[in-house]
Amino acid sequence: MKISIQRSRKSGLFFVLTGAICWGIGGTVSQKLFQQYGIEVNWFVTVRLLIAGILLLAVQSFSTRHSQIFDMWKQKKTALQLIIFGLFGMLAVQYTYMASIQHGNSAVATLLQYLSPVMIMVYMIWRKQATLTRKDVISAILALSGCFLLLTNGSLSQLSVPLPAVLWGLLSGVAAAFYTVYAVKLIEKFDSLVVVGWAMIIGGAALSLIHPPWKMDFASLRLETYGYLAFTIILGTMIAFWFYIESLKSLTAKETSLMGSAEPLAAVGTTVIWLHEPFGLFQWLGTACIIGLILLLQSNRPKPIQANDK
């Protein structure tokens, strides 16, 4: 039994780390599409959600549990939960993150989104599911210090990134916190492929009312543009979200959120090295504060909560 639990945790760690790296690199590729290839964020989010969602359900259709694809819609309560998750979880976290990248860069957007563990911590304390500790106070100080240094580069007179990028990035953190906590209810009942697939389709369908996916001059897109789009859809969206949700089966929501520390590292590294985005000394210190925050919280892991305890 102990060996089985250990293997389960190892698979959970593999899923969350792989998904986080894919998500971090996918953000940098998205930045290149926005800023160098003129791809519009509304169209981009719509297309990647719809295609990735359809692909995930297609994979599920070949499994022995393919009936779950439509079972989710048979109960009103489950269907409502799925719609809420698709709109306020999947669509919200995708759109706010991409909007932050479009207005700023992938590194800052990812680091701001990674304040979600603190938001989850505050939520758990507010719901009296956890108590305030010294580590929580230190974590809050690291989060605030990291954000200040990251966004100002040590200067009180101006932001180092545009204000819209900051606001969208903070909203992305809120959406990521909701996404992580709310997903647990659904994956206790259904396979992660089904949950994530339908959530993406719901989010993509809702956004298509604003920007239909067929409204694009496809003839003007270059071959490498299609390659970057394929990368962000398959690895940066489909695999990233699928593996992230899959990890919640063997890790707690807080653990999954924290163990994705590879995401900001991947985003910052590829942004600076590949896109040659300038990063000041104080911004590196801010990055270190936020990563230190993640590692600090990780050192105080709670015991996994079983489904029967909820």
pLDDT, tens digit, 9 for 90 and up, residues 47-97: 999 999 999 999 889 887 888 899 889 989 999 999 999 999 999 999 999
Task: State the average pLDDT for the chain.
Answer: 82
The model's pTM is: 0.78
Closest CA relative to residue 279, chosen from 107, 30, 32:
107
Sorting pLDDT into bands at 50, 70 and 90, what band is 302? very low
For residue 282, what are the CA distances in angstroms to 30, 289, 310?
A: 25, 10, 43
Q: Is the pLDDT of residue 268 over 60?
A: yes
